Every structure is written in C-alpha cells, then in structure tokens.
Structure 1
Amino acid sequence: MRILLSNDDGIHAKGIQTLCQALCHLADIYVVAPNQERSASSHGISLHRTIEVHELELPGAVKAYETSGTPVDCVKWALAMLHPTTPFDLVLSGINAGANLATDVLYSGTVAVAGEASLQGVKAMALSQVGPPFDFEPTVKALLAMLPKLLQLELPADTFLSVNFPPDPDPKNVRWTKLGVRNYHDSFRVELDESGQQVYRYGGDIVDEHGDGETDVTAIREGAITITPLRYRFTNEEYYGKMQSFKH
C-alpha cells in the first residue's frame, strides 16, 4: 500500500512527521507538503507564479518533497508527477494543529488537500487535532486502531472524510457527524511592517456555535472522535427546485 501525506502546517510540522513515522511500518509513505505554514489557504492554487519543489530526507518516508506552493498545489503536483508511476491507495492530510469543524472547513488547507484528492479519484481523509496543546501521539495511536475499518469503507467517488480528534481520543468513542455552524467576530489589528508601512493582521473569535447531537461541534465537545463525510457540491438543491416554477 502507498500513502501520500500532505498538510497545510508545513513539512517540518510535528503533526505530519509524527504521522509519517507511525505509518511507515504499514505502508510506503510519500510526503509532499509546503515548505512553510500555509494555514487557511483553502483550495487556492498557484496560477501566476512558479512552484519550487525540493526533495529532502524525512524519517519514515520513501520519498519526501517540500514545495513553495499551497497545500492543493502539493497534492496536485504529487498526483500529476508521482501517482502515474507509483499510484497512491490513500491520501492523508494532517495531522493539523487545530480542529477543522463546521464552517472552518471552507478555509482549511488541510481539508482542501483531501478534497482535491477525492476530486481526482483517490481515497482521502483530513486529520485534525483539537488544541492547544497538541500531543499527536494519542491521536496517532487512535488513528492506527481505526485505520483498518476506515480503509474498508467504500466511499463515493466525490466523497472524502474529515476526522477530528479531541485530546486523549478514545478509538471506541467515534461518531459519524454532519457539519455544525460557527460564527466568528472578525477583527483586524494594525501593525507596522519592516519598512514602517501600516498593515493589518486578521484575528477572529468564535462568537456563536450551532450544533445538535449529530454535528461535529457537539460531538467533539463531548469528547468523541468525529468523522464527517464531505463532498464539493455547492448547489442549493432545495432552492433550485423551488425556482423551477419561477417565471421571469
């Protein structure tokens, strides 16, 4: 089995390195990840600049590459350049330092990696850890216990999984969930850059969180590992059907 790892925290992040070393005894591990943190990059790709790719040594990996691109650039490059000759059975994104719950998935580079892989027909999962603090060892241990069953799942071609782990996760306490809703209060702090130019730094605080017993935000708060099946379909089918009777 061949597994491709990527993330948005960067190839030197503890989450992806811990994951790589834990899985290398089960599969051939390939890593393609950004050379620095690219959090909240969503599904962005590099259209107007070139991408540098450098091979490096990473414990546990058969091959490892860092790129100057976005997380989605990484998985696109891997599937275009490596996958044809060494097909991947699975793409794992993470382990992200921070949960990806509810509407956070819209901004997450971690989730976007898995989403891009699924668009290209490769089974994929995004892995995220609640924190801080971030102790990835219990998360990896829980993942290894869950992985045999997860690998047996027959996912639809357009569907991928977003898995969130609470602190001290119990692999016997797993819930299938739907996305909840998070609302943020947006704020921008004024700073000065190195040249003295006024710039702004974004910061957002959660002000409201909606979820019932079936949502990820509720389940993770209650200490469960959450698995949310996602797909990229944005059409509002209900409203679309309603508008079929609307006369222009």
Structure 2
Amino acid sequence: MEEVEVVVAHSERATLRVGDVFLKVDADQARIDVEVEAMSLAPVPTPKVLWRKPPVLAIAAVPGATLGRLGGPSTGSPAAWAAAGAAIRTLHDAPPPPRPGRAGRSIAALTEELDRECELLAGNGVLPAGLVTRNRQVADAALRPWTPAFTHGDLQIAHVFLDGGEVTGIIDWSEAGQGDALYDLATFTLGHEEHLGDVIDGYGTAVDLDVIHAWWSLRSLLVVRWLAEHGFDPFAPGCEVDVLRSWM
C-alpha cells in the first residue's frame, strides 16, 4: 500500500504525495487558478494536471531530481546548472501572463513592505539592527524599474527538476505572472552563489549582479518572520539568515 507523504503543510496550504500523484490543497482558490493558467502558458516542462476539484489540485510527479535545496549541499554539474539557466531564459522570453505575479509587485508597494518588515525584525529583536540595516541598504538596488517578463515568482532550487542536462519539469506556479526576471534568477541561486555563474552562462545574457545580490537580501528580509511563524527555520545553516549575514 502506498503511503501518504506530507511534502509541505502550514495554515495557508498543504501538498501531499501519494505515489506519483501530488495533491495540492489551498484555501485561496485564486492561487490555484494562477497555477493552472501559468502551467498552460509556460514554454517549459510543467507537471500534468490530472484533475481539479476545489480546493484540491491533483498533478502528476515530474521525472528527474532537483539540484539540491536551500541550506543543503548542491548537486549537478556546471552543465546542469546552465541547462536550468537556459530554461529560465526560455520562460522569461515568452509573452507574460496578463496579471502581475509575486515578482511583479510595484516599487512603492515593495518598498513599503520591506521598510515595515525591517522595522519589525529589528524592533522585535528577531535580527540584530545592524544586520537589518546593512541588508536594507543592499536591497535598495532591486527597487528600480524593470521590463515585465513571464516570471515563476517562487523559483526555488527545489522547484526545478532535471534528468542529466535536461530540465524535465518546473513545479509550484501559484506565484507566477508578470515580474522582474532577475527576481527569478536570484531566487533560484539563493544560498548557492557558487553556481550563479553557471546559471548566467546558460541564461545567455549579461545580468546586473548588484540587482541579483539585492534580491537575495530583499527576499530574505521579507520571509524570515513568515518562515519562523509557519514551522520553517530561516536560521538553519545556509538558509536565509546566513544569506543576510554574508553581507556583514
């Protein structure tokens, strides 16, 4: 008998695996709508939708394996990381969906959210004030105009699967939409700076490294409290707080 594996679960959503089927349970139907639409439009391999009955979406597992996870060792050859970069470029070059995604928040809204979060992190003693201040300075480079691209919006290393040097599937599209392409590149390489050059080689065009670094700081600052409050550990070695400390 196949067992039910809890892949991730918190108060907003849960993902279960039974054999080769993933069941995504989400209280926010809009996120499921975005995910299904994005997978139908994306010019890269995505999971097959098996059935959908709100609040559950059933999708098939994709073959291959990831290149690692945040806080853990990375795997794969430079060619595999470059293949991931090439797939990301294919996505970014496609016509973007009609709505903004997580990577497409306005500069004003993002600045307001970031300043509020920094005040809470330092004021409540979650992180040292100097660490917050330094990373807020670094993050400022991301707060600039960008050309809308088709972005995944949550392109963690654990969401991209490869078999050898070929991308076989990209999962978890609920944050997809129009956004800043460099946000995706930064999210994918967060905590694995040693592979940034390989990813950019595959991406095929020069990118502003200061903006990549800025997104590393900005994204980490915004998620530390959320992660801690939802059962994850941003203080684990190699995770978000270590990314922030790297600037000190």
TM bracket, shorter-chain basis: under 0.3
Structure number with the bigger relative contact order (C-alpha 8 A, sep ≥ 6) is 2
TM-score for the superposition, normalised by structure 2: 0.25
- Higher Cα Rg: structure 1 or 2? 1
More strand by share: 1
More helix by share: 2
TM-score for the superposition, normalised by structure 1: 0.25
